[in-house]
Every structure is written in structure tokens, then in C-alpha cells.
Amino acid sequence: MCNALQGVNFRRFLPLLPALLFVPVLCGTAHSKPLRSLGEIPVAASPYVERALQDLNRLLEAEDATFDPAQGTICPGGPDELARAAVGPTAYERTYNTASMRKFNEKAIRREVVLSMIDGECPRDGLLNGPVEMILRTWTVSDIQNGMESDSLLTYRTSSVFVNGEPVGDPTYFNQMRNTIYQRLLNGERVERRFTEDAAETYYGAGYGGGWLPDGRQTTPTVGFSVGSVKHIVSVSVVTPDPNGLPMTESYHDGALSFRILSIDAHHTVMESFHEGRLAGKIHMKDGDLHGWQEIYAEDIPTIRNCYQHGEIVKAVDCPSD
């Protein structure tokens, strides 16, 4: 479930989502047996099933080798400059240069971004052009609380065509996500902490489609598949835009759990969760923070409602989400 929930901000370059960033998992090793099935998936993802099964098995077998930046030419530049070039200016403004992402980066104790070109040239004047294959690696160390730190390594490998800095057509994305939680001791030493059995997972993803236009609009759904290296639990994401590019409806499927996320505008998001097809919860978010009613639905108990304003729980009768 955490897999799917954490991908809210990655609507374009990281459609793999479960992906996408901020998943609290730890370093693991690939499972010895191949993945034989993707399980039950949404209809929109069905055209990519065979391809995704092959790609995910290849990623699981290769482990780190697919995502090693040393395979290409390392491009010069700062973290924000390289991220903007890799995803394109339009996607950068919509997903990276937002209040929630700036807040996340401000909490980082350390943040490094590496852009490696496997094929094609490094950005010129901050923009990519022509056919490219590249690896974008982001390493972030963030302070959580009570001396605990999150050490996240997120790596993406993509093949795409760029026109005036914007990706066009139907790019293919692969990603690897690994996150370690440490407890910092009084003597400065860091000790690894594992809180759940999922802590041994490394997540691999593959994403397809999008139909990107030069002006940054998405015309067809983007479909992403993610699998854990140990349990082999597959989750699927589908990102469907309206004809103008926004709002975008994102749906995630992780076994009996599924999620639907509607981007109201650049600042507001509504997320619904379902268990075996039944609505289980609904939350409102503004700039990445809970803002509005959080509602939890269960069969045997009354609806639970909590009011949040700018990420803080408050007591209220009216709970605006604007």
C-alpha cells in the first residue's frame, strides 16, 4: 500500500510511481525465481503486460547493473538544473518545482543528482535535444524525527526523444528505488533500522506510453508496473490526462488495494482508496499536505473523520479544502 501512496507527485517522468519516490524500503537482493505473472491488472494496462513481464524479470536479474551511471557520460550541473533538463521544463514546473517538493528538499540533509548520458549529448543551455538514453540518479538523506534519517537512492533510466527540451512521443522508463532508515546515535554513528518485513525490498519499475506533445501535454495514458525484489508483489499505475493535460486521474492497483488520485489543479489533489472494490478512504491535499477532511470508511464502524489544515490536524465543524 505504501508503494502506491507515495507516488502522488510523480505524474510524468516518474509514472512508475509506486514507485516514485519516497518509498520507505531498504536494500535487498533480487529473488532467485523469475516473475511468472503480473496478476490481475486494470484494462488500460493490458497492452503492456507481456512487455512489462519481460522487462521486470530482466531488471530483477540484473539488479544494480542496469542503473549504474558509470555506463555513460556524466553531465555537469547542479541538482535542480540536471533534474529540470532530464524531465523537461514543463514537467519540472508541474512536479518538481512545487511547494510540496520544495518543502521535501528543504528537509534534506544531503542531496545529490547525477545525470549520465548513455546515448545522446548532455544538456545545452539547460535543455536536451534529439534521441537520448540516460540515467538520472538522486540520492537524498533526510531528517525524519528523533534522530532517525532516511537514506533514499532513486535511479531512473529512460529512452526518449527531446524537442527543444521537452520529451515527445512514447518514452520508456525503468527505475530502481531503495531506501534505508538509520538511527543516529549520540556518538554520531548511524545504525540501520528495520521496522517491517518489507524493509528488505528493493523496488523495480517499468513505464510506457504517454503520447507527449512538444508543449508538454499528455495525450494517452501512461502505464507503470512496479515489483519488489523479495516478495514479488506487483503494483500497477495508470495516469490518464484530460485533453488539455490537466486534471489527471491516477489509479494504482496493489493486490486487493487500489487508489484513485484526481489532480484538481496545480495545488489541490483528492485521493480515494479502495479495498476489494469498496471505497475505504478519502483525503484532500494541498501542495502535498493534508488539507481538508480525511475520511475512513469501514463496514462495521461509523465513518471516521479528521480535519487537517496545511498538514496539521485540527478540531473543526467546517473543514475547507481550498
C-alpha to C-alpha distances, 207 to 14, 143, 221, 243, nearest whole angstrom: 8, 30, 11, 21
Same domain, 299 and 224: no
Residues 130 and 196 in one domain: yes
Tell me the average pLDDT across 238-257.
66
Q: Is the pLDDT of residue 288 over 90?
A: no
Instruction: Check whether residue 41 and residue 96 sit in a common domain.
Output: yes
Of the two residues 91 and 320, the one the predictor is more confident about is 320
| Number of helices (H), then strands (E), in the chain | 5, 16
- Most confident residue range from 22-36, 50-64, 185-199: 50-64
pLDDT for the residue 27: 28
> Do 103 and 200 fall within a single domain?
yes
Separation in Å, CA 106 to CA 40, 111, 302: 39, 10, 39
Mean pLDDT of the chain: 79
- Contact, 193 vs 232, CB < 8 A? no
Percent of the chain predicted with pLDDT > 70: 79
Instruction: Say if 45 falls within a structural domain.
Output: yes
Domain contains 15: yes
Is 249 inside a domain boundary? no
Q: Which three cell numbers stand for residue 246?
A: 490537466
Of 10-14, 38-42, 166-170, least confident by mean pLDDT is: 10-14
**Which residue segment(s) compose the domain that 197 sits in?**
2-239
- Beta-bridged to residue 236, according to DSSP, are 225, 253
Q: What is the dihedral of CA 38, 43, 45, 46, to 10 degrees?
A: 70
Distance CA 137, CA 115 (A): 7
Instruction: Considering only residues 52 and 33, tell me which one the structure prediction assigns the higher pLDDT.
Output: 52
Based on the fold, state whether residues 154 and 296 are members of the same structural domain.
Answer: no
pLDDT at 118: 97
Q: Are residues 123 and 210 in the same domain?
A: yes
- Measure the CA–CA gap between 170 and 208, rounded to whole angstroms: 7
Question: Are 300 and 207 members of one domain?
Answer: no
For residue 166, is it within any domain? Answer: yes
Q: What does the pLDDT average to over 74-94? A: 90
Give yes or no for a contact between 183 and 151, defined as CB atoms under 8 angstroms apart: no
Same domain, 272 and 189: no
Mean pLDDT over 29-36 rounds to: 60
Q: pTM of the entire structure?
A: 0.74
240: closest CA among 84, 15, 90?
Answer: 15
* Same domain, residue pair 289 and 231: no
- Do 83 and 156 share a domain, yes or no? yes
317 and 233 within one domain:
no
Specify the range with the lowest mean pLDDT, choosing from 23-27, 78-82, 236-240, 270-274.
23-27
Span 99-109, pLDDT tens digits: 666 666 777 78
What pLDDT is attached to residue 307?
A: 93
Q: Say yes or no: 182 and 312 in one domain.
A: no
Q: How many domains does the chain have?
A: 2
For residue 216, is pLDDT > 90? no
pLDDT (0 to 100) of residue 64? 93
Question: In terms of pLDDT, which residue wins out, 24 or 51?
Answer: 51
What would the pLDDT profile of 105-157 be if each residue is shown by its tens digit? 777 788 899 999 999 999 999 999 999 999 999 998 888 777 888 888 999 99
